[in-house]
Structure 1
Amino acid sequence: MEDIEAQAREWTTSSTEALKLVLAGREDEAEFSPTFTYPIFGDEELVFGYQGLEFTLKFDSTTLLPLLNVGFSKKLEELVQGNPEDPLVEVLPREELYRDSEKWNQRRLKEREEFKIPGQMVKQFQTEDSTYVIHKVAVKDAIEFHRRLQVFVLLFIEAGSYIEEDDRWDLYVVYDKETNDFCGFCTVYPYFWFKNATTHDSIESYTPLRKRISQFVVLPPYQGKGLGKNLYNAIVDECMTDEKVRQVTVEDPSEAFDDLRDRCDLARVYDQLVEDAQFKAPFDEEYINQLVERTKLTERQAIRCVEMALLHKMEIPSKAYKLQLKRRLYLRNREGLADKTSDEVKELLDGTYRKVIEDYERIMTGVKLDTQPKRVKV
């Protein structure tokens, strides 16, 4: 039995470890690994039947024209049918996928000379290392380009999947202005916004929208440079100036994106919060409704921003602050607390409250407000 298991391991390869991604510039290359491969190779992220298996998926760093190379030292011919790269080929644009390096290089160099970043520039910003631009284009106007980049959704977004090529999708792309290298992207979809019949009937000149951020990827070579923050803020800033957009939401955000969103939203609304005479605990539903209308945040996000802003202004949370936060936590977890004794409920709420405060402190360490965040005594 052990021999069989050892042989199986010998012929089994992690698809995530085997797949290398490369952005190829005119003279240099950046190599990195995917975070996930299960949408392509299955939940176990394993490929059976090969030894020394390697996939190299190379993209031109500007146009994202793809090249796939595959190598292995041994294959169990009697047990394995097809090719190990077949699942990967299925999710790539077949009509543009190259397997010959020389032909790929000839085409990519020609494309690079003619390439223009799709769409219109919506933002330009500088970091310590370079200048970057963000462009916006309708997916329908950049179909081929979108098909080249969409594989990054499967490789870097947990449970990510391809979007349908609906005419209403917008694509935001980030490029290094100095090198013309692709750095990341985001897809956004407009949904009909409906709050209530009274609000809807009062809007006559346009159809109100809820913009939903769907897929958001900054490639590993460009992470940690502030590109994600600038991309998110560019999208929100554009929504803020569009009267048709009444709310900005995010589809199934990861924990990392939640942190990014919290920090960006808090930094954006903090000054107007602290200048408001009603900025205090406890705050009521009408206060949150007004904030939601002004900032286009969701109700949950508005409440989190107010709670963090209040916490930042206090050295010690007030009794009113503690009670309101614990009440919110209780209402959110009421079903799970229904069979607990009052002492058990108190203990659970105290523990959850402390965790929320600690998490707020962690988030606020990455935000430049009027002063450095205080160490809060809970």
Structure 2
Amino acid sequence: MAGVNEMEKKLAEYKCDTNQATCLKLVRFPEDIEDESTTFHPEYSHQLFGDDEVAFGYKGLQIQLYYTAGNLSTLFKVKYSAKVTETFDCVEPDDVEGKIREIIPPGFCCNTDDFITLLEKEANFKPFGSLLHTYKVHNVEEGADLTYQIHKVDISCPGFREYHERLQTFLMWFIETASFIDVDDDRWDFFLVFEKYNKDGETLYATVGYMTVYNYYVYPDKTRPRVSQMLILPPFQGEGHGAQLLETVHRFYCNSPKVQDITAEDPSENYVKLRDFVLVKLCMALPSFSTEKLAQGFSEEMAVEAREKLKINKKHARRVYEILRLRNTDMSDEEKAREFRLEVKKRLFGPYRKNQRELTKMRKCLRPEELASHISQMDTRLQHEELEKSYQEVLAEYRRVLERLAQA
């Protein structure tokens, strides 16, 4: 038995955390290749390496996936200090290289010199598609304003299909339930963010992030753009690019009379925070969301104006109203705080009311013991506790949006 435990211990030394082992880079200069500070790591690797995010069979495993900053030409190498087959017979290591090859398109280099040759051609890379928006962000480290551009692209744009195949590999590392899309469906719109920078006196472009939007048909003659994927690459996160991108995309669709409203597919918590901030910023300029009108409660006028001018649906318009109402409410005034609380709880109570209506219908067809179990689930005290908990969570979310708004 001791021998088995000893063997397990030795084999455990050949397990590597794949999030740590995977090293990603966006390379602008040849010296970035050896510079540890330019490396970043995935948040997730379970789609390739299983739920435990472990690769077996190597010591000191390093999966290098380096991309040129603009065109995303790729260098792929697998390094390790020892392999399990060097010590143990009949034990196979995981096919790490095979797993990575499943997601990266062909045409990558395995040699650093070849990669540097591709890096030298970056001056030829120009952003795809048509320019929608240019903005600046102050960079503290460089003590200067950096320039960014947002472009809209169609898959038919020369070279874009291959570039997109390289770009979408990042989804696997940073979006928990990511999947690749069918780009041959012409209902997809692509929006990309690029940074303009100088290298040896030349203007170059670096990829910052992107968004894909699918245009669903709405009877009889409208479309409903649905945000599918959105990713700002880690070196650029926390600089406000997500808000710039989402606002630009919203404004793009606002100009189309064919668009009913804009939605998102299975939005993450971070995306909802971002959307709250952007939509509040946009709605503040609408007459129906003026201070006087906010005090009178949520109105059909707000819902209609938000939809017609900004393509915001009624549910999101209501949320914006509540955030702006909170902004205008003196929460230290008990009466005003109570009015706000009741206004939000009235909306939150909707699902409970629906349950009550369903229960009334069920009384006719349920056996007594089944009915008793449903009634116990609808215990009034429990309802009030759940409602208060939901209210406090919503209040915290709204306050975070208002803090960001104040900083902006």
Q: Residues 287, 107 of structure 1: CA spacing in aligned structure 2 closer, same or farther, 3 A cutoff?
A: closer
Which residue identity is paired with 1:283? F
- Structure 1 residues 163-205: Cα deviation after superposition (integer angstroms, max 9, x where no partner): 11122222211111124111111111111124xxxxx4xxxxx
The two structures, once aligned, show a CA RMSD in angstroms of 2.3
- Check conservation: 1:278, 1:287, Cα contact below 8 A: no
Q: TM-score w.r.t. structure 2 length?
A: 0.81
1:240-279 matched pairs, under 5 angstroms: 240-272=254-286, 273-275=288-290, 278-279=293-294
1:49/1:75 contact within 8 Å kept: yes
* 2:108 paired residue number: 97
State whether residues 58 and 93 of structure 2, in contact with CA within 8 Å, keep that contact through their aligned partners in structure 1. Answer: no
Shift of 1:17: 0.7
Deviation at 1:332, TM superposition (A): 2.7
How far the C-alpha of 1:353 sits from its partner, in A, is: 1.6
Structure 1 residues 296-311: aligned runs within 5 Å? 296-311=311-326
Q: Secondary structure at the match of 1:175?
A: strand
What 5-or-longer segments of structure 2 have no aligned partner? 33-37, 140-145, 199-204, 357-373
Shift of 1:281: 4.6
Q: Which residue matches 1:158?
A: 176
1:253 Cα offset (Å): 1.7
In structure 2, relative to structure 1, the CA distance for the partners of 1:294 and 1:276 (3 Å cut) is farther
Residue of structure 2 in register with 1:136 after alignment: 152
User: 1:55 is paired with a residue of what secondary structure?
Assistant: strand
Q: Does structure 1 conserve the Cα–Cα contact (< 8 Å) formed by 2:15 and 2:54?
A: yes
1:76-114 Cα offsets, whole Å, 9 max, x none, are 2232167422101111012x111122122223423x132
Identical columns (%): 28
Confirm or deny that 1:21 pairs with 2:24. Answer: yes
**Which residue of 128, 142, 146 maps to 1:118?**
128
Distance in 2, matches of 1:154 and 1:186, equals 15
Compare 285-294 and 125-134 and name the one that shifted more.
Answer: 285-294
Q: Label 1:308 to 1:31 Cα distance change in 2 as closer, same or farther (>3 A).
A: same
1:341 deviates by 2.8
- 1:289-308 Cα offsets, whole Å, 9 max, x none, are 44333321122211110001
Aligned to 1:37: 45
Separation (CA, whole Å) in 2 of partners of 1:293 and 1:188: 20
Query: Distance between the aligned counterparts of 1:156 and 1:39, measured in 2?
Result: 11
Which residue number in structure 2 is paired with residue 236 of structure 1? Answer: 250
Counterpart pick for 1:213 among 227, 230, 234: 227
| 2:100 corresponds to which of 88, 93, 106 | 88
Distance in 1 (alpha carbons) for counterparts of 2:229 and 2:298: 33
CA distance in 2: counterparts of 1:28 and 1:73, whole angstroms: 24
CA 288–321 in structure 1, closer or farther in 2 if over 3 Å, else same:
farther
Deviation track 1:267-314 (CA, whole Å, cap 9, x = no partner) reads 110232432764335424564344333321122211110001111111
Could you tell me which amino acid in structure 2 is paired with residue 45 of structure 1? Answer: E
* Distance in 2 separating the partners of 1:81 and 1:28: 33
Q: Which residue of 1 aligns with 2:362?
A: none
CA contact (8 A) 2:27 2:68 kept: yes
Q: How far apart are 1:161 and its partner, in Å?
A: 0.8
1:45-60 aligned at under 5 Å gives the runs 45-60=53-68
Distance 1:276 1:360, change over 3 A: closer
Per the TM alignment, residue 137 of structure 1 is displaced from its structure 2 partner at its CA by: 0.6
Do the aligned residues in 2 keep the contact of 1:40 with 1:88 (CA within 8 Å)? yes
Distance 1:119 1:28, change over 3 A: farther
8 Å Cα contact 1:32/1:220 also seen in 2: yes
Native 8 Å contact 2:83 2:93 kept in 1? no
Q: Distance in 2 between matches of 1:282 and 1:3?
A: 70
Q: Which amino acid aligns with 1:288?
A: A
Distance 1:81 1:220, change over 3 A: closer
Whole-angstrom CA distance in 2 between matches of 1:105 and 1:304: 50
Query: Structure 2 CA distance, aligned partners of 1:149 and 1:327?
Result: 44
CA distance in 2, matches of 1:348, 1:58: 48
Whole-angstrom CA distance in 2 between matches of 1:281 and 1:34: 48
Deviation of residue 239 (structure 1)?
0.9
Given that 1:140 and 1:167 are in contact with CA atoms closer than 8 Å, whether structure 2 keeps it comes out as no
Question: Could you tell me whether the CA contact under 8 Å between 1:267 and 1:368 is conserved in 2?
Answer: no
